[in-house]
Structure 1
Amino acid sequence: MSGGAGLSTHVLDTARGRPAQGIRVELHGVTGPLREKFAEAITNADGRTDAPLIERGRLVAGTYELTFHVGAYYAEFPTASTPPFLDVVTLRFTVADAGAHYHVPLVMTPWSYSTYRGS
């Protein structure tokens, strides 16, 4: 593998107005029906993983899945939706330019989520 600026993520809990600490995040590479686990991490107090999920220079073009285990996080904070409405959020996305940095955040509440390609 060559080039690449890496892949990172963070999780923001907009219902509570803060970063989401303690969310398990998994990264898989996807090729057709096959999924290969590349990384797993837990978000820190800033809602980020302590290290990029794919380090600089190791990112390659292809399809990836980020899986966020948000149900356990929201189970800690009872809401009108108990058990939590969301359990596991999976984002499938494509890396076209392996020389660019891909930052894929999750912005969530107990009832909804959104994402975007950040910088």
Structure 2
Amino acid sequence: MSALRLQQLKGQIFPENKLTVMAASPSPLTTHVLNTATGVPGANMALRLYRQEPNTDVWHLVTSGLTNEDGRCPGLITKQMFTSGVYKIHFETGQYWASMGETPFYPYVEIVFAISNPDQKYHIPLLLSRFSYSTYRGS
């Protein structure tokens, strides 16, 4: 990403044109995939975010996306759509490993988590190798 674009995203004022460029409203839910086998971000991994219908086993697709070159998926959900409830992120890890010529052990990873206070920011990282994965609530 260029230095100019980074300045724009940070909402800085540019003296040459006196414009203020603001970044889009940040998602209250973020994720980051890190390939711990190679120490690089998990780029180009498909993922889907679901919300569970209360008191049922029914899941509704909220959004889908693809991780960027930094292993992140910006704009996952808007603040208005983010409510209390149970969510899951489905990561297509099998496709990710296959795209690198590797045989996947885990065809996908699903991380299920409960949101009790949607006014907080939640970060769900996925640390991944071919034969293991872990996660935690980040900030």
Aligned positions, number: 111
Answering whether residue 45 of structure 2 is matched by residue 45 of structure 1, we say no
The Cα shift of 1:77 comes to 2.9
Length-normalised TM-score, structure 2: 0.75
- Alpha carbon RMSD of aligned pairs, Å? 1.3
User: After the TM superposition, which parts of structure 1 deviate over 6 Å for at least 4 consecutive aligned residues?
Assistant: none
2:117 to 97, 100, 115: 97
Q: For structure 2, which runs of at least 5 residues remain unmatched after alignment?
A: 1-26
Q: Give the distance between the partners of 2:52 and 2:67, measured in 1 at CA.
A: 23
Q: Secondary structure at the match of 1:66?
A: strand
Conserved in 2, the CA contact under 8 Å of 1:9 and 1:52? no
The Cα shift of 1:84 comes to 1.1
Q: How does 1:66-105 map to 2 (within 5 A)?
A: 66-79=89-102, 83-105=103-125
Query: One-letter code of the match for 2:85?
Result: G
1:106 to 121, 126, 137: 126
Identity fraction in percent: 35
Looking at CA atoms only, which structure, 1 or 2, has the larger radius of gyration? 2
Whose RCO is larger (CA < 8 A, sep 6+)? 1
